[in-house]
Amino acid sequence: MVSLRVTPKSSSARIGGIAEDAAGRSFLRVHVTEAPEKGKANEAVIKLIAKAWRLPKTTIEVVSGESDRNKTVAVKGEPEALMALIGALLADGD
């Protein structure tokens, strides 16, 4: 599971990095150009993450926060391999 803070209607689609909320919980900042209407922003989040992490879109699912800026997504696959891939991509700035 990955916690996200999504900014819809952004000027560009990008993954902004890792941040913490006031309670000290980590989340990944995600910016998408789509408006939060009829699931368009959620679809854009899945598409962006899949492309950035080089995963099939079918392996990513929004499991909570469908109508909220704070979302949790589930990523199917081997946890250790996914964490290594995501960590490497974040370190490279992709």
By the 8 A CB rule, do 89 and 22 touch? no
Q: What is the pLDDT of residue 77?
A: 79
Taking alpha carbons only, the member of 65, 78, 77, 83 closest to residue 18 is 83
pLDDT in tens, 52-86: 888 899 999 999 999 999 999 999 978 787 778 77
Q: Supply the mean pLDDT for the chain.
A: 89
Q: What is the pLDDT of residue 39?
A: 92
Domain membership of residue 41 as a residue range: 2-92
**Distance between CA atoms of 52 and 91, rounded to whole angstroms?**
12
CATH number at residue 19: 3.30.1200.10
Residue that wins the pLDDT comparison between 90 and 41: 41
How many separate domains does the chain show?
1
